[in-house]
Amino acid sequence: MKKYILILTLVAAVNAQAANEDWKNCDDEGTSNCEYQIKDGVLTIRPQDNSQPASIPDYARDCSNTRYSECTTTAPWKWEENTNTITTLKIESGITSVGYDAFENMETVANLIIPDTVTNISNNAFMDMWQLKNVTIPDSVTTIGERAFQWAHILEKLVIPDSVTSIGDYAFDTVGLQLAEPGSTTIYCATTSPCAGKGHENIIAYDKQSGVYILEGQIYASPTDMINTQNACVDMDTCKAKVLKNKGYCSSDEACAAMVETENANHPIEYKNKSYASIDDLLKGKYMPKRIYTIDEANEVAGKTNTFTIRYR
């Protein structure tokens, strides 16, 4: 029996070592805190230590005072033999920043997955992804660098979330040039100011209020509805109720409408034993802290004196 256990242990150890060898450091010198794997047409990037956040390194720096070849390096995955088979780029949760030039010129990537832990997308990060069709920018992202998505020829539609406060020039320049209908590519931006850079003529600004999307006077309950100009809401209250139901905060149309009526009456919205000042706060998880009264305030509320009653609200 001990012999069989030893054999099984050795086999498991060999398999684990082989699995680990599939993952390589994001830096040629092994100094990065992220690692990558290419398998079945998917390039996956993840933190080396799942308990710690990680960043995809910069592979270029400011080249204004030197030759480009002397100020840039190449990401290691671009040297792999199967690089030209990659159709999906998957960045896993825990990655917080995508470095300069990290995935530039990866022309076969059609699908890009960015997790909601990423806050920064650096210059040229996804530049020259000629086959890119699908990407969602999560609402964790605050900064998008220059030329970050430039030359994504067949990317049809994209929503820039309201979390984004800075967008570099030409970040979305020449997106969708190969579409059959000229000008049919539209990029939607939550606010005008960060989207006003050079080369952003195809960006349309929209307003986002309490989870709804307002574009050209129409109100929508989701980015998808807004992009496709479908299922426009009759009014703001109807749309807010639809948002709440879509996100699972209420189970029926009546219950969702009641939550909207509560907000309109300037009363706190109660959800899972917490109070929220507005639907917007509810969607953001920003609940109202319980107020702790001073002894004098508590006694005054209770109509008593010389007691030590403390009430919570």
Model confidence pLDDT, tens digit, residues 78-110? 888 888 899 999 999 999 999 999 999 999 999
* 169/279 same-domain check: no
Whether 241 and 187 share a structural domain: no
Q: 267 and 198, same structural domain?
A: no
Highest mean pLDDT among 69-73, 80-84, 111-115, 206-210: 111-115
pLDDT of residue 271: 93
11 within a domain of the structure (yes/no): no
99, 157, 259, 269, 281 from 277: Cα distances, Å: 38, 34, 11, 6, 6
Question: Taking a C-beta distance cutoff of 8 angstroms, is the pair 197, 169 a contact?
Answer: yes
Asked if residue 48 and residue 165 are part of one domain, the reply reads: yes
Burial 110-133 (b: 16+ CB within 10 A, else e): bebbbbebbbbbbbbbbbbbbbbe
3-class DSSP state for residue 85?
helix
Domain extent for 120 = 31-205
List the structure tokens of 18. Answer: 């082989």
Record the pTM.
0.73
CA-CA distance, 161 to 247, in Å (whole number)? 17
Both structure tokens of 192: 């005008």
**pLDDT exceeds cutoff 90 at 293:** no
277 shares a domain with 139: no
* Cα–Cα distance measured from residue 255 to residue 283, given in angstroms and rounded to the nearest whole number: 16
Q: What single letter denotes the amino acid at residue 108?
A: T
Name the residue among 71, 76, 62, 72 with its Cα closest to residue 29.
Answer: 76
Q: Residue 110: give its domain's CATH number.
A: 3.80.10.10
Nearest to 267 by CA among 250, 247, 282: 282
Q: How many domains, the chain?
A: 2
121 and 264 fall within a common domain: no
118 and 201 belong to one structural domain: yes
Asked whether residue 108 is domain-assigned, the answer is yes
Final residue of a structural domain among 186, 205, 224 = 205
Task: Confirm whether 112 is domain-assigned.
Answer: yes
The reply to whether 83 and 155 lie within a common domain is yes
Structural domain ending residue among the three candidates 189, 205, 221: 205
| Nearest one of 37, 33, 32 to 51, comparing CA atoms | 33
The answer to whether residue 23 is domain-embedded is no
Question: Starting from the edge strand earliest in sequence, which strands make up the sheet with 157-160, in order?
Answer: 157-160, 186-189, 203-205
Residue bearing the bigger pLDDT, 16 or 85: 85
User: Per the domain annotation, does 210 fall within a domain?
Assistant: no
What are 52-73's pLDDT values in tens digits?
A: 999 999 987 666 655 555 567 7
Residue, of 241 and 81, whose pLDDT is higher: 241
pLDDT of 124-179, one tens digit each?
999 999 999 889 899 899 999 999 999 888 887 788 888 899 999 999 888 876 65
| In-domain check, residue 228 | no
Q: What tokens were used for 40? A: 């079945």
Same domain, residue pair 91 and 155: yes
Indicate if 190 and 261 belong to the same structural domain: no
Same domain, 252 and 177: no
Q: Is 2 within the bounds of a domain?
A: no
Residues 100 and 248 in one domain: no
